[in-house]
Amino acid sequence: MRVIRGYKFKLKTTPELQRAFATMAGHARFVWNKALRLNLDRLERKAPIMWYSDLCGLLRLWKQSEEYGFLAEAHSQVLQQKLKDLDRAFADTFDKNQPLKKQPRFKKKGRDDSFRFPQGVKIDNRRVCLPKIGWVGFFKSQEVPGTIKQATVTREADGWYVSFQVEIELPDPVSHTESMIGLDRGVDVFAATSEGELVTPVNALKNALDKLARLQRKLARQKKFSENWRKTRNRIAKLHQKIARTRHDFLHKLSSKISKSHAVVALEDLPVGNMTRSAKGTLENPGRNVRAKSGLNRAILDQGWSMFERMLEYKLNEHGGQVVPVPAPGTSHTCSACGHTDPESRTSRNLFRCVKCGHTEHADVNAAKVILQRAKVKLAA
């Protein structure tokens, strides 16, 4: 079985390398924004957009022109990869099976600094050879097995990173367990299991909100683009980086633990995009309870439900297991003991007491058991 894995390392840079990276990222961003502007103008005129092959032809003309000749400084495949990304973004936008996909947006300097090499990347111990840049050292925390399919260089708050996407040959997966488990995801409790375990959420963003608010107020008082303003902005970026890493680490460890212990994981099929949609509405139809909905949206996104599900899926696949999504409606109001469904059985946020049979249990654990029962029915069908 062939699988794709990712490995990420921090690069050892010099001021000269940083300028080279920034230039390459800038050229890639320029191509994305120019091609996006071109297609948005065509959409406004009701004209068909230009896809990847057409845009590549335009790219050649841009590089030969006097106005955009600077694009020839960048590696040609780096610019082509940006056009491929834009092509995929428009395809997703027009895909009726992905109604929540939004129109591609312009990339901003300092926020979207990255570029990708689809080939020509070599690793020699603690160095990586990047086309048109040369050998660059990196902090190698682990070996990179398999065949490198592509490498992406990205600027983060504390420096530049390289991510390798590699293809690895693994033995065909065989699950060493037949255990099945149901998970009910939430905000106060990150996940309740059908085995009765309550997983406490890490709340990476919630725990940093006060510090983040102080820094943002400080930034607002400072003169824009001053040295102190730049320092504060960098502190905010590093705090966001810490929040993301804390959440990512928590989700990785939990998903690894579950995927190694169970062959089947049942989850509610939650439309997270719909659940976190803004409640502001429009001027004609303003939303209701906007502040409360905004807080709930932030709490849901802070948990990383979608990321957790993706991690479970690929880890279970590698272990010979699977994720089984089941319909979400009614799981919190259905009794896991007798199957009776009644909203009155959910007496409080944490307590479930069946109005028919009297079964009493933590509400989230009861829901996890119902989710598992639905998964078993689905698998048996």
Say if residue 123 is in the same domain as residue 26: yes
Query: Which candidate in 113, 309, 361, 364 is catalytic?
Result: 364
**What 3 state SS string does 351-375 have?**
EEECCCCCCEEEHHHHHHHHHHHHH
Confidence at residue 15, expressed as pLDDT on a 0 to 100 scale = 97
3-state secondary structure of 165: strand
CA distance linking residue 163 with residue 246, whole number of Å? 19
Q: Could you give phi then psi for residue 15, rounded to 5 degrees? A: -55, -35
CA distance linking residue 296 with residue 305, whole number of Å? 13
Say if residue 144 is in the same domain as residue 267: no
Say if residue 115 is in the same domain as residue 187: no
Q: Could you give phi then psi for residue 270, rounded to 5 degrees? A: -95, 130
Contacts of 325 (CB under 8 A, 6+ apart): 266, 267, 268, 269
Which of the 8 DSSP states describes residue 256?
H
Overall domain count for the chain: 2
Say if residue 157 is in the same domain as residue 82: yes
- Host domain of residue 107: 2-169
Say if residue 187 is in the same domain as residue 129: no
CA distance linking residue 246 with residue 161, whole number of Å? 18
CA distance linking residue 334 with residue 83, whole number of Å? 49
The answer to whether residue 249 is domain-embedded is no
Q: Is 184 a catalytic residue?
A: yes
Say if residue 163 is in the same domain as residue 273: no
Confidence at residue 283, expressed as pLDDT on a 0 to 100 scale = 41
Q: How far is CA 257 from CA 2, 254, 309, in A?
A: 23, 5, 14
Confidence at residue 101, expressed as pLDDT on a 0 to 100 scale = 78
CA distance linking residue 167 with residue 353, whole number of Å? 50
Structure token pair of residue 93 = 């936008």
Query: Which candidate in 184, 309, 313, 361 is catalytic?
Result: 184
Q: Could you give phi then psi for residue 262, rounded to 5 degrees? A: -140, 145
Say if residue 186 is in the same domain as residue 69: no
Q: pLDDT 10s digit of each residue in the chain, 381 long?
A: 899 999 999 999 999 999 999 999 999 999 999 999 999 999 999 999 999 999 999 999 999 999 999 999 999 999 999 999 999 999 999 988 877 678 999 999 988 899 999 999 999 999 999 999 999 999 999 999 999 999 999 999 999 999 999 999 988 888 778 899 999 999 999 999 999 999 999 999 999 999 999 999 999 999 999 999 999 999 999 999 999 999 999 999 999 999 999 999 999 999 887 777 665 554 445 555 666 667 888 989 999 999 999 999 999 999 999 999 999 999 999 999 999 999 999 999 999 999 999 999 999 999 999 999 999 999 998
Structure token pair of residue 12 = 């050892």
Say if residue 104 is in the same domain as residue 194: no
Confidence at residue 292, expressed as pLDDT on a 0 to 100 scale = 64
Q: Whose CA is closest to 193, among 275, 301, 267? A: 267
Confidence at residue 281, expressed as pLDDT on a 0 to 100 scale = 53
Q: Is 361 a catalytic residue?
A: no
CA distance linking residue 149 with residue 140, whole number of Å? 18
Confidence at residue 284, expressed as pLDDT on a 0 to 100 scale = 47
Query: Which candidate in 113, 268, 309, 361 is catalytic?
Result: 268
**What 3 state SS string does 38-92 have?**
HHHHHHHCCCCCCCHHHHHHHHHHHHHCCCCHHHHHCCHHHHHHHHHHHHHHHHH
Give the pTM. 0.89
Say if residue 37 is in the same domain as residue 153: yes
Structure token pair of residue 205 = 């963003």
Q: Is 364 a catalytic residue?
A: yes
Say if residue 345 is in the same domain as residue 296: yes
Q: Could you give phi then psi for residue 9, rounded to 5 degrees? A: -140, 150
